[in-house]
């Protein structure tokens, strides 16, 4: 969340190459959202935060919101300085709002999986996916809070903001990469469970292929956001967020 854009060149209009990279990221974000909804609604039966007879519906909320929140909305927040043809202040507010929405969706997604585990008698926080996931959503909340306090209210001094911008940008991108990595672990974990007893999902069946393809699209989305964000100039690597 680059709130004051003190980084040199950050206020310049995006190049055609940046526009192309950003467009690819937007398209992949739409594709990932459609695919995860197709999986959870068509193959897994739908979404519900309350269900008496099918607790899997509660779980299904988790992958949808964790993808939509920290990854899709978080990625759009990172890209909004490039993709929105608005004034700097408007882009700054859009950046804050998109990250806030992404954080809220992620928090609700974490709540859904804890609720599913409790109501299904499954232990919490026993896997690498859950450990990395809790660390990632916690870092996301910390990153957003630090950005809000430094760049919005009460706001740090101009000198402090200038020093903070590069760190804020790099840390934000790292949190996004962590979110993508956590999603990869989650797809792998869930598919492994589905292919084991009692369901024994066919390894080359339609659902298994859909989950693997969705995970691949999410990976490509992460790569696209990073490439659209990082400006490479021979020897210098600058993040513009």
- Around Cβ 236, how many Cβ atoms within 10 Å? 7
Q: What is the CATH T-level fold of the domain 20-230, as seen in this structure?
A: 1.20.120
pLDDT of residue 8: 40
What would the mean pLDDT of 198-221 be, rounded to a whole number?
96
Q: Is the confidence at residue 143, as pLDDT, over 90?
A: yes
Cα–Cα distance, 214 to 203 (Å, whole number): 15
Instruction: Express each pLDDT in 75-84 by its tens digit.
Output: 999 999 777 8
Say if residue 101's pLDDT is above 50: yes
The Cα 105–Cα 75 span in angstroms is: 13
**Confidence (pLDDT) at 232:** 53
**Backbone angles phi and psi of 124, in degrees to 5:** -100, 155
Confidence of residue 173 (pLDDT cuts 50, 70, 90): very high
Cα 187 to the center of its chain, rounded Å: 14
3-state secondary structure of 238: strand
pTM over 0.95: no
Q: What is the reported pLDDT for 1?
A: 42
Identify the residue with better confidence: 85 or 38: 38
Above 60 in pLDDT, residue 22?
Answer: yes
User: Does residue 12 carry a pLDDT above 80?
Assistant: no
Q: For residues 201-212, give the mean pLDDT.
A: 96
**Percent of residues, the chain, with pLDDT higher than 70:** 88
Joined together, the tokens standing for residue 119 give: 């109501």
Handedness of CA 154, 80, 88, 158 (dihedral sign): positive
Q: 61: buried, middle or exposed (CB in 10 Å: 19+, 13-18, 0-12)?
A: buried
Q: What is the pLDDT of residues 144-161, one digit of tens each?
A: 999 999 988 887 788 888
Q: What pLDDT score does 21 carry? A: 87
109 pLDDT above the threshold of 70: yes
């Amino acid at each position: 969340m680059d709130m004051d854009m003190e980084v040199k060149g950050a206020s310049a209009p995006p190049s055609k190459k940046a526009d192309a990279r950003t467009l690819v990221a937007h398209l992949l974000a739409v594709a990932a959202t459609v695919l995860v909804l197709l999986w959870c609604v068509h193959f897994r039966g739908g979404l519900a935060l309350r269900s008496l007879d099918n607790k899997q519906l509660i779980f299904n909320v988790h992958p949808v919101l964790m993808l939509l929140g920290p990854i899709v909305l978080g990625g759009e927040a990172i890209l909004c300085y490039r993709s929105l043809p608005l004034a700097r202040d408007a882009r700054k507010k859009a950046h804050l709002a998109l990250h806030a929405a992404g954080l809220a969706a992620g928090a609700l997604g974490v709540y859904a999986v804890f609720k599913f585990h409790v109501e299904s008698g499954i232990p919490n926080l026993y896997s690498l996916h859950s450990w990395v996931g809790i660390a990632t959503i916690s870092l996301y909340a910390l990153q957003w809070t630090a950005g809000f306090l430094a760049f919005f209210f009460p706001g740090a001094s101009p000198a402090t903001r200038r020093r903070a911008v590069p760190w804020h940008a790099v840390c934000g991108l790292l949190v996004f990469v962590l979110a993508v990595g956590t999603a990869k672990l989650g797809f792998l974990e869930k598919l492994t469970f589905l292919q084991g007893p009692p369901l024994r999902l066919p390894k080359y069946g339609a659902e298994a292929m859909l989950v693997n393809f969705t995970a691949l699209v999410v990976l490509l989305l992460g790569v696209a956001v990073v490439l659209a964000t990082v400006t490479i100039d021979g020897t210098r690597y600058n993040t513009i967020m």
